[in-house]
Chain A
Amino acid sequence: MRWLLIGIIVAATTAGEVLQAAGMRRHGEIRDFRPGAIRRAFAVLARNRFVIAAVAAMAVSFFAYLGLLTVAELSFAVPATAVTYVFETLLAKYVLKEHVNWLRWVGAALVVCGVVLVSL
């Protein structure tokens, strides 16, 4: 049961976070943090297809995560879902076209190894 939930969480989180990054990158850097400007940014983002899809995917991930928390310890649940790092770094390079230098690869690999150790 817990591994099924983790599978759902990983798939939904990866999709959601990559879509979120794609949507925000299209929107451009948020520079103005005054309430009026934030409200305007919200209005624009609410019509951003990537952001809408990201929120939907993250909602799926959230409810699966609630289910996981009932059957697993917090210090197992959170780290076990971190395989998303592998998928998301790969998608960052090939879909978002980010320049993933060797420091970022090594960093992501260390995080994944750490996460595996934590959840063993």
Chain B
Amino acid sequence: MTHEHARLRVKTWLFAVVVVFSNVFGNYFLKRGMPPALVTPLEYITVLFHPWVELGVLMLIVWMLSRMALLSWADLSYVLPVTAVGYVLVALVGKVLLNEQITVKRWAGIGLIVAGVALVSGGSAPQTAHPRPEAAGPGQ
């Protein structure tokens, strides 16, 4: 049981890292490739063939697949907060690579997000032990 626990934890961390980084860089590449405005529906399609947008879409495909794999064993209520560390990285990428401003409020928000992520990832196992759906009684 403890071996099983350790195995799941390592696997979960590995996939969480892939999920976070593919999402952060997917978003960065998308923003980089976006024109100042999308007006007609056709422009929403043609923008997909812009190289930066294409790379962003590719990263988001990796994100979706790795997230699906992660969700095949980890709870959604675990995956959500833990992968939220991506918000922090997105803000930092926005600041460093896109020269966006990070205000004091945004830094405070980033701090709260990090605290939330630390709490959930450090404090609970990734998976609800449900051998059978109806066996969700009281307990850890």
List the interface of chain A (C-beta within 8 A of B): 17-18, 20-21, 24-25, 27-30, 45, 51, 58, 62-63, 66-67, 69-71, 73-75, 77-79, 82, 85, 88-89, 91-93, 96-101, 103-104, 106-111, 113-120
- How many A-B contacts at CB < 8 Å in the complex? 173
Interface string of B97-117 (1 = CB under 8 A from A): 010111001101111111111
The answer to whether B84 and A111 have CB atoms under 8 Å apart is yes
A45 to B64, CA, bound (A): 13
Which residues of chain B have a CB within 8 Å of any CB of chain A? Answer: 27-28, 30-31, 34-38, 44, 47, 60, 64, 67-69, 71-73, 75-81, 84, 87, 90-91, 93-95, 98, 100-102, 105-106, 108-117, 119-120, 123-124, 128-130, 133, 136, 140
Tell me if B's interface is mostly helix, strand, loop or mixed.
Answer: helix
Interface of A is mostly: helix
